[in-house]
């Protein structure tokens, strides 16, 4: 079927005229065209109004509809005038532009192009030596101006963006850099800017503690003397007017770091405010290692941000949601094809990192007191887990209490009200049950445990830490519970091991000071051990410059935070002779063993998924996150296996 596109009146509307068929032959045409600015059928013609709309966008969507959906061949009316001619020219230009971006993405280019790009980057005293995959990613972004980088954590996405930024600055296309990200990312951007350009950036950090007057005085002016503007996602809406003023008056690259935070299409505040920055940006970059954690819907806002005037995705939100439920949906290939020119993705296997060393878990024997407490908590927990009528909050609380008893029974004295404080604001929340359901005798042991003994796990952690520090190394210890972080820190100091805490309670400026001191190669820090919570600092920080040892004192069933925490010390920038070592401490015959086994199974499946798919859906592996039915079964199975052997 063939159609001809022309215009009506004084460019009031597009007119689609069937050439060799009737409009009525197209099933459902009235439903589809009404979404094109209220399009309608008039006799045997389709009329698409052009009032109050981006003409190029409507033309692009019209071509998409009739070419892709209705399988029509399109002719453009040569007498339609300049409006249609401009739209046609722009559409053709964008298609050629997309094809070139796709070629760069696939490294299907002349080597001299990349050499010329790198030569231009270095004109601005760019000091970093980029890995080949980083150079290609930077060139792709610099050419496209607007692109997504879906590379795994540790691939050097920050340096890649800064190289593209240097190129665009040297070509006089942009002169300011605005980064929207979580607070934890601010430190990395400042450090990477220094490493890349050799100078400390003039930076404005916009977050809850930044005075309003400073933000206004820095941004609401015609000339801005800043190299780097950093704004937290939570602050975008509050300072939207000031940020829009910045973008209207400065040629700015806008970067969304950890951009999965705007994936929510139903978010009325954070995502909506951030998307308003897009139309005024001269260049846009989206960075996230998890582009589609739940469904293909998660891609919608990312591409809406980088190309606000082009319908790159090409599918509606309901269509994307439906496609996510069916692996064999033929539309998935079309989706990947549509978005491919404007994203690049480096997998873990592409990084060429030295292989890490994993030590088998060290099993420590619980004391008789801890064992008595643990057995009572295990009996209570398994009872709840086996009871299908028990509400979700009680089941989750039972698992938490079991994990706490395996490390330090004194944690059982604390309520679970602050359990969610360590997590990101997103995600479901259920009320947790503080009732332990143990005998009075066991409760007295719990209440006096802290005065009775030092948890055996702490003692073993101290031994490992002492050995690593004595050999000149540094160590990060990962703990799941805030109470564990605090208590372990006190214990290590009591045996002469200086340490610092990185968790939700650590103030931003204190966190920055700790990371800077810990990773400073030139000036040895006064401490060589960090105790960290993976839910609070599992992303956006890099410790690999000086730290090559990680110890897991506690773990959860969440493979996502586990993988992120491992990447803090195993990432691009390691030297060939750097050996990354991972240690684990378990209490014998406890939930620790089930958690370790399950989280490693999940990680293995996730790595296979991530390495094999272009846009992997974490939803395809639902138990990737925490406390699924299979996890519960593993807890129950381990409990009865132990009892059958020892009772």
Burial of 124 (0-12, 13-18, 19+ CB in 10 A): middle
DSSP codes, 284-348: EEEE-S-S-SS-GGGGHHHHHHH-TTS--S-S-HHHHHHHTT-TT-THHHHHHHHHGGGEE---G
What is the per-residue pLDDT for 618? 67
| Residues 6+ away with beta carbon under 8 Å from 327 | 620
Distance (Å, rounded) from C-alpha 60 to C-alpha 459? 66
Burial of 268 (0-12, 13-18, 19+ CB in 10 A): exposed
Distance (Å, rounded) from C-alpha 296 to C-alpha 338? 13
Q: What is the largest CA-CA distance in the chain?
A: 93
Burial of 376 (0-12, 13-18, 19+ CB in 10 A): buried
| Residues 6+ away with beta carbon under 8 Å from 430 | 391, 392, 393, 396
Kindly compute the dihedral angle of the four CA atoms of residues 243, 246, 250, 253, in this order, to the nearest 10 degrees: -20
**C-alpha distances in angstroms, 610 versus 148, 300, 348, 366, 621?**
17, 20, 9, 38, 11
- What radius of gyration, in Å, describes the C-alpha atoms of the chain? 28
The residue ranges of the chain whose pLDDT is under 70 are 81, 124, 267, 422-429, 618-628, 644-647
Strand 40-42: give its sheet, edge to edge: 40-42, 45-49, 13-18, 2-8, 73-76
User: Are the CB atoms for 539 and 258 separated by under 8 Å?
Assistant: yes
What residues form DSSP beta bridges with 283?
253
Bridge-based pairing state of the strands 549-552 and 581-587: parallel
**C-alpha distances in angstroms, 162 versus 112, 182, 388?**
21, 18, 53
Is the alpha carbon torsion for 442, 448, 449, 453 positive or negative?
A: negative
Angle at 552 between CA 400 and CA 609, to 5 degrees: 85
18 token code pair: 């069937």
User: Are the CB atoms for 289 and 613 separated by under 8 Å?
Assistant: no
User: Are the CB atoms for 173 and 282 separated by under 8 Å?
Assistant: yes
DSSP secondary structure letter of residue 278: G
DSSP codes, 49-116: E-TTS-HHHHHHHHHHIIIIIS--EEEE-TTS-HHHHHHHHHHHHHHHHHHHHHHHHTT-S-HHHHHH
What's the pTM? 0.87
Q: Per-residue pLDDT tens for 236-250?
A: 999 999 999 999 999
Q: First vs last Cα of the chain: how many Å apart?
A: 79
Distance (Å, rounded) from C-alpha 598 to C-alpha 641? 16
Angle between helices 392-407 and 591-612 (to 10 degrees): 110
Distance (Å, rounded) from C-alpha 72 to C-alpha 65? 9
User: Are the CB atoms for 485 and 533 separated by under 8 Å?
Assistant: yes
What is the per-residue pLDDT for 422? 67
| Residues 6+ away with beta carbon under 8 Å from 584 | 359, 360, 361, 362, 551, 552, 555, 596
Return left, alpha or beta for 427; rule: phi > 0 is left, psi -120 to 50 is alpha, else beta.
Answer: left
Distance (Å, rounded) from C-alpha 305 to C-alpha 170? 25
Bridge-based pairing state of the strands 228-232 and 176-181: parallel
Indicate the SS3 state at residue 3. Answer: strand
User: Are the CB atoms for 82 and 75 separated by under 8 Å?
Assistant: no
What is the per-residue pLDDT for 217? 94
What is the per-residue pLDDT for 278? 96
Return left, alpha or beta for 275; rule: phi > 0 is left, psi -120 to 50 is alpha, else beta.
Answer: alpha
Total Cβ atoms within 10 A of residue 38: 12
- The owner of tokens 């060799």 is 20
């Amino acid at each position: 079927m063939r159609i001809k596109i022309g215009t009506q009146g004084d460019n009031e509307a597009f007119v689609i005229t069937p050439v060799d068929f009737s409009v009525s032959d197209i099933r459902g045409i009235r439903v589809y065209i009404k979404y094109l600015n209220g399009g309608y059928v008039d006799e045997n013609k389709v009329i698409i109004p052009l009032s109050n709309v981006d003409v190029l966008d409507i033309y692009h969507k019209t071509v998409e509809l009739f070419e892709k959906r209705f399988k029509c061949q399109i002719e453009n009316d040569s007498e339609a005038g300049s409006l249609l001619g401009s739209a046609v020219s722009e559409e053709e230009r964008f298609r050629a532009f997309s094809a070139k971006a796709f070629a760069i993405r696939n490294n299907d280019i002349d080597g001299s192009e990349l050499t010329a790009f790198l030569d231009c980057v270095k004109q601005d005293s760019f000091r970093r030596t980029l890995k080949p995959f980083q150079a290609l990613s930077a060139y792709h972004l610099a050419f496209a101006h607007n692109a997504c980088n879906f590379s795994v954590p540790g691939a050097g996405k920050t340096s890649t963006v800064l190289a593209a930024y240097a190129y665009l600055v040297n070509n006089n296309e942009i002169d300011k850099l605005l980064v929207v990200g979580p607070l934890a990312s601010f430190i990395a951007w400042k450090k990477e800017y220094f490493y890349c350009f050799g100078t400390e950036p003039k930076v404005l950090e916009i977050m809850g503690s930044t005075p309003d007057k400073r933000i206004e005085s820095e941004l609401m002016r015609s000339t801005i003397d800043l190299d780097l503007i950093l704004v937290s996602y939570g602050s975008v809406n509050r300072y939207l007017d000031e940020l829009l003023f910045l973008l209207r008056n400065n040629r700015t690259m806008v970067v969304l770091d950890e951009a999965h935070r705007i994936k929510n299409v139903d978010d009325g505040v954070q995502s909506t405010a951030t998307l308003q920055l897009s139309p005024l940006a001269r260049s846009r970059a989206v960075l996230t290692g998890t582009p589609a954690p739940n469904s293909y819907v998660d891609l919608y806002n990312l591409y809406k941000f980088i190309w606000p005037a082009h319908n790159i995705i090409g599918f509606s939100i309901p269509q994307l949601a439906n496609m996510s439920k069916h692996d064999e949906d033929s539309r998935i290939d079309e989706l990947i094809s549509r978005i491919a020119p404007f994203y690049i993705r480096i997998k873990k296997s592409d990084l060429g990192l030295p292989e890490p060393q994993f030590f088998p878990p060290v099993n420590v024997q619980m004391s008789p007191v801890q064992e008595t407490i643990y057995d009572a908590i295990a009996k209570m927990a398994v009872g709840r887990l086996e009871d299908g009528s028990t509400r979700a909050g009680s089941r989750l609380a039972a698992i938490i209490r079991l994990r706490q008893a395996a490390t330090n029974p004194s944690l059982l004295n604390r309520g679970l009200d602050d359990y969610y404080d360590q997590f990101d604001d997103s995600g479901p929340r259920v009320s947790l049950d503080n009732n332990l359901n143990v005998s009075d005798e066991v409760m007295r042991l719990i209440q006096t445990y802290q005065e009775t003994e030092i948890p055996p796990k702490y003692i073993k952690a101290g031994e490992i830490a002492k050995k690593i520090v004595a050999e000149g190394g540094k160590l990060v210890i990962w703990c799941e519970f805030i109470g564990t972080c605090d208590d372990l820190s006190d214990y290590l100091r009591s045996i002469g091991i200086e340490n610092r805490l990185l968790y939700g309670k650590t103030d931003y400026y204190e966190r920055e000071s700790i990371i800077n001191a810990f990773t400073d190669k030139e000036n040895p820090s006064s401490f060589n051990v960090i105790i960290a919570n993976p839910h609070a600092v599992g992303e956006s920080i890099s410790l690999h410059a000086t730290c090559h040892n990680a110890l897991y004192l506690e773990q959860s069933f969440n493979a996502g935070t586990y993988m992120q925490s491992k990447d803090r010390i195993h990432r691009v920038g390691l030297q060939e002779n750097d050996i990354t070592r991972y240690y684990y401490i378990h209490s014998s015959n406890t939930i620790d063993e089930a958690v370790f086994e399950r989280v490693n199974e999940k990680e293995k499946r996730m790595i296979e998924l991530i390495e094999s798919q272009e846009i992997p859906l974490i939803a395809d592996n639902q138990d990737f996150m925490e406390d699924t039915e299979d996890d519960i079964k593993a807890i129950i199975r381990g409990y009865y296996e132990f009892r059958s052997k020892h009772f």
